[in-house]
Structures are given as structure tokens and as C-alpha cells.
Amino acid sequence: MNYKITQSGCHRWLGRISSSGYGEVRMLGQYVGAHRLSYLLNKGALGPEEMVLHSCDNRKCINPDHLFKGDAKANAEDMVRKKRNKPGPAILPGEDHSTAKLAENQVKTIKRSKAKGTDLAAMYGVSVSTISKIRNGHLWKHL
């Protein structure tokens, strides 16, 4: 598998990247997650409902040491835990919490993008309603 080792020890996938930000490999005529394939090859079998999660939060990473298996529930809990542990930006009164972590240039990209709201939400780690609020001008009006 084709990857580059980063300073943080991640194995950054150099192939195709999906619209939601994960590495992809073409296998038997369809695209599968490169991180899923790495897990399968290095750590063992995966059921169809089982998800491969990143301990490093880097979706392009395929380092098997950074991958662990979980279901959708574990994924949600993992995201909540990481968010809680992250020293968040200072929240100004009235500012929407879910957009506070987006940088201005990301918001501009979201406004310009023709990608599906669900894909953008997954890519930036925000809710689909946040994406639609940005797009219809309810949030980040000044950009």
C-alpha cells in the first residue's frame, strides 16, 4: 500500500481520497476505505457493520497501530470524547458552538462547494444542519 510516514507517525495514504476525506482503494470494481483494508490486512477480519476508527483522528492515515475497530455507537462516543478533551476555542456569547472550530477559509470552501451536505459535515466534523445554516447564510454571514 502506498503511503508516506508523517512526523506524527501516521501513514498518510497517497492514493485516491474519498469525498468524506478517507483514503480509498479500488478493489473488485468498487472503492473501499484504505484504512479498512489496512486493518483487514494487518489486524484481522471486519464485519460489514463494524467500523474502523482512527485513534489519531487523521482520516487519511492507514497505520494499523492507529486503527481500532468499533461500531457506529463507539464512533460517536469517540468523537464526543475527543471533542471534550480538546481545548476548544474561546466561545463568544451567541456564537454557535458547532461552527467555532471551523476556520474562515473552511467556511468559504463550504459555501463554494457543490458537495453533498452530508459529505461536507463528515469532512469537517460538524453537523449537517451546521452545513446548511452556513450555506443559507444563517451562520458566518460576514464571509
Cβ-based nearer residue to Zn ion, 63 or 99: 63
Site for Zn ion contains 56 (CB under 5 A): yes
For residue 34, give the H/E element and its range: helix 34-42
Out of 61, 110, 120, 121, point to the residue binding Zn ion (CB under 5 A): 61
Site for Zn ion contains 62 (CB under 5 A): no
Site for Zn ion contains 130 (CB under 5 A): no
Contact criterion met (CB below 8 Å) for 22 and 34:
yes
Q: Specify the stretch interacting with Zn ion by CB under 5 A; choose among 4-12, 34-42, 43-51, 114-122.
A: 4-12
Site for Zn ion contains 35 (CB under 5 A): no
- In one-letter notation, the amino acid at residue 11 is H
Give the separation between CA 138 and CA 10, rounded to whole angstroms.
37
Contact criterion met (CB below 8 Å) for 13 and 34:
yes
